Amino acid sequence: MTLTSVFNRLAMAVLTLLGVGLVVFVLLRVVPGDPVAMMISPSATPADIAALRAHYGLDLPLAEQFFLWLRDLLHLDFGTSISLRRGVLQLIGERLPATLELTFAALVFGILAGGIVAVAGVLLRRTPLEAVMDFVNGLFLAVPDFVWALALVLLVGVLWPIFPLSGRLDPALSTDFYTPFYLLESLARFNWTDVGDVLAHLVMPTLALGLPLAAVIARTLKEALGEAMVQDYVLLARLKGMSETRLVLQEALRNAVGPTLTLTGVQFTFMIGGTVIVERIFAYPGIGNMAIDAVINRDLPLIQGIVLVFGALFIVINIAVDLIADRLNPRQLHG
Amino acid sequence: MTPPLVSIEALSASSVREGGTPVLRDVSLTLERGEVRGLVGESGAGKSTIAKALLGILPETIRITGGWLRFEGRDLLTMPSGELRAMRGRDITLIPQDPQTALNPARTIEAQLTDGLRMKLGLRGTALHARAIELLEEVQIREPDRVLRSYPHQLSGGMRQRILIAAAFAPGPKLVVADEPTTALDVTVQKEILRLMRRMQERHGTAVIFVTHDLGVVAKVCDSVTLLYAGKVIEAGTTADVIERPQHAYTKALIAAGPRYDRPGQGLEPVPEAIFRQLRAELAGTAAKGAP
């Protein structure tokens, strides 16, 4: 991908976000549910309600509200949360790093687990073990993230309590973090107690989010590896005396990874959607968990802000996937 | 007395899928060190099966039913897989048929050319690079430095075949199996590649099994030839003998089927149906003899 096309993609991204913003903005105001009704006391007079509406600008025409919101966005002002009475951008800034650490952990887990299963499956092809692995993988493909979350709560919470089931950090650890990136910061400080604790808290939600991804990667990559393994160049490499493992890793993998990469990008965006429920189940203080509260409270500015951030994440992931795919394909690199 | 480099004795094989149809019937041939032998036949004649058996890559659908396949006196069919793998790529290498698909699109030419040197001869670093350049010069590739850095899609088919030839001769093998190495190339390039193969073979004193369906190619590069039909050796001998004085009617018909550039009015005669009837009768005869 050339610099111009990256620039074009970014320009398209702005348009896409504008569309996302418009749709969310209008939908939130068309569907039933009044943010003001959620926050007033039963004793409030109609005058109180009208004053509150005017305070949040909810009495203005829809188009005017939208343009005011856009104008503020251009100044990086995402508005103020109605329920939490704090800046939306500030709230997102506090919560997004938790979600990024979680989704990144789940992505790494999914790629590693799926990759290992795929390579093992190809090495074991035409053995009885392959059929067993394919069957188990099929089961894993069918189980969505929130079912994993519930199953893990049951397994680890009730039967075998080895990992913490809620939160992000043991409250007993009174470390003061300067950034909301707990994992990165404790790593950078070489504070291994904190690293261990943050990781332990990540295990359960990471498994819930990462297992479906691992299953998809395992299936797709194994298929592609199997196809690559019967190519002439692999046969020739085998005749050079390479071991089967090396044939898979050195000859087949790079040629087979393309479709998996694209699919991983798609799945990764689904996974970010999945954080909403999974973070809720594990009381993980991320942006997805906050999204549910925002929706329950009809917190319009916060919902809009979160949706925009999700949209931006989707776009960034897609551009990143395309850039990586280009890197891996020598045809495009040197064409 | 040292045994011949390759000696195939009464090798028989059959297809598992097609109800045990024989694909090789009592094939015997020997190959001395430094000899170039053509294996000629139409598709299904068994020439590729012999090549694959030598390389140890017979598909699971083909089963050896009898005979021996010896390399330097040792039976390849019963050799432990570890020893076979050690020998592959060092003593026996392959020049594949299609240079478009035989190079890995994701690896540089240098990496693929030097696999054998790294794995079998243990060369590393500058010595490896210098040897890679030498190899490319040997197969007459200009700008070897640029080519080594290239990926396969940046090179022409003839260029890739030169690289595959260089890679096959690189570890100093005793036997190179060439599987129709010019079939996928332009006619103009074919001639250069044949000449190059012959020169490489002579320089290194390597024995070559040359699988082809083209008697014209055999006449150009092979010392001896084995002609197969339906898995049976029809005729074998030195190239000059077989082409000048063919004994079998099928060989004569095949030679007549080749184009005659010197006499444009002749050649390109299809093999007469009567000869196929004769071949089938001979095959039935051996089958009846072989039955208990």
Task: Count Cβ–Cβ pairs < 8 Å, chain A vs chain B.
Answer: 69
* B60 lies in some domain: no
Whether B104 and A240 lie within 8 Å, measured CB to CB: no
Amino acid present at B138: E
Query: CA dist B222 to B28, B69, B140, B172, B205, Å?
Result: 18, 21, 22, 20, 14
| Whole-number Å distance between alpha carbons of A261 and A258 | 5
Question: Which residue of chain B comes nearest to A233, CA vs CA?
Answer: B102
Question: Which residue of chain A comes nearest to B84, CA vs CA?
Answer: A241
Please name the member of B55, B112, B151 whose beta carbon is closest to the beta carbon of A330.
B151
* CATH class of the domain at A88-290: mainly alpha
| Whole-number Å distance between alpha carbons of A320 and B241 | 66
Across chain A, mean pLDDT equals 88
Q: Looking at the complex, does the CB of residue B183 fall below 8 Å from at least one CB of chain A? A: no
| Whole-number Å distance between alpha carbons of B42 and A100 | 63
pLDDT digits (tens, 9 = 90+) for A45-100: 888 888 888 887 888 888 888 888 889 888 888 888 888 889 899 999 999 999 99
Query: CA dist A316 to A4, A10, A108, A313, Å?
Result: 16, 9, 17, 5
Min mean pLDDT across A120-134, A173-187, B33-47, B190-204 is at A173-187
| Whole-number Å distance between alpha carbons of A188 and A185 | 5
Distance from CA of A328 to the nearest CA of B (A): 8
Is A112 a residue whose pLDDT tops 90? yes
Q: Looking at the complex, does the CB of residue B84 fall below 8 Å from at least one CB of chain A? A: no
Which chain A residues in 194-253 lie under 8 Å from chain B, judged by CB atoms?
231-243, 250-251
* B10 lies in some domain: no
| Tokens found for residue A125 | 């092809």
Domain boundaries along the sequence of chain A: 88-290
Is A332 a residue whose pLDDT tops 60? no
Mean pLDDT, contiguous 10-residue spans, chain B (292 residues): 88 86 91 94 88 89 91 90 87 92 92 91 90 93 93 91 94 93 84 92 94 88 92 91 87 78 68 82 63 38
Q: Which residues of B touch A235 (CB under 8 A)?
A: 57, 96
- Residue A166 pLDDT level (bands cut at 50, 70, 90): confident
Distance from CA of B29 to the nearest CA of A (A): 23
For strands B62-71 and B175-179, give the pairing. Answer: unpaired
pLDDT at B264: 66
Crossing angle (nearest 10°) for helices A88-123 and A128-142 = 160
Whether A238 and B115 lie within 8 Å, measured CB to CB: no
pLDDT at B2: 81
**Cross-strand bridge partners of residue B199:** none
Please name the member of A235, A254, A255 whose beta carbon is closest to the beta carbon of B57.
A235
pLDDT at A114: 96
Distance from CA of B225 to the nearest CA of A (A): 25
Is A282 a residue whose pLDDT tops 50? yes
- Residue A215 pLDDT level (bands cut at 50, 70, 90): very high
Q: Looking at the complex, does the CB of residue A334 fall below 8 Å from at least one CB of chain B? A: yes
* B79 lies in some domain: no
H-type alpha helices, chain B: 47-55, 81-87, 109-113, 115-121, 125-138, 144-149, 157-169, 187-204, 215-221, 239-244, 249-257, 273-290
The residue that leads in pLDDT, A191 or A157, is A191
Q: Looking at the complex, does the CB of residue A258 fall below 8 Å from at least one CB of chain B? A: no
pLDDT at A78: 87
Whether A236 and B102 lie within 8 Å, measured CB to CB: yes
How many structural domains are present in chain B?
A: 1
Structural domain span for residue B116: 99-172
Query: CA dist B135 to B87, B138, B154, Å?
Result: 21, 5, 19
Q: Which residues of B touch A241 (CB under 8 A)?
A: 85-90, 116, 119-120
Q: Which of B52, B104, B119 to mutate to test the interface with A (most CBs of A within 10 A)?
A: B104
Whether B104 and A334 lie within 8 Å, measured CB to CB: no
> In angstroms, how far is the first alpha carbon of chain A from the final one?
11
Distance from CA of B209 to the nearest CA of A (A): 16
Whether B93 and A240 lie within 8 Å, measured CB to CB: yes
Q: Kindly report the pTM of this predicted structure.
A: 0.82
Which chain B residues in 128-157 lie under 8 Å from chain A, judged by CB atoms?
150-151, 153-154
Segment holding A18, helix H or strand E: helix A3-30
Distance from CA of B57 to the nearest CA of A (A): 8
Is A229 a residue whose pLDDT tops 90? yes
State phi, psi for A312 to the nearest 5 degrees: -65, -40
| Whole-number Å distance between alpha carbons of B46 and B102 | 22
Whether A237 and B93 lie within 8 Å, measured CB to CB: no
Which are the contacts of A20, defined by CB distance < 8 A and separation ≥ 6?
Answer: A307, A308, A311
User: Could you give the strand order of the β-sheet that contains B92-95, starting from the edge strand earlier in sequence?
Assistant: B92-95, B175-179, B207-212, B36-40, B224-229, B232-238
| Whole-number Å distance between alpha carbons of B154 and B163 | 13
| Tokens found for residue A124 | 């074991």
Amino acid present at B156: S
* B168 lies in some domain: yes
| Percent of chain A whose pLDDT exceeds 90 | 41
pLDDT at B82: 85
Distance from CA of B86 to the nearest CA of A (A): 6
pLDDT at B260: 65
Distance from CA of B123 to the nearest CA of A (A): 15
pLDDT at B267: 65
Question: Which residue of chain A comes nearest to B154, CA vs CA?
Answer: A335
* B134 lies in some domain: yes
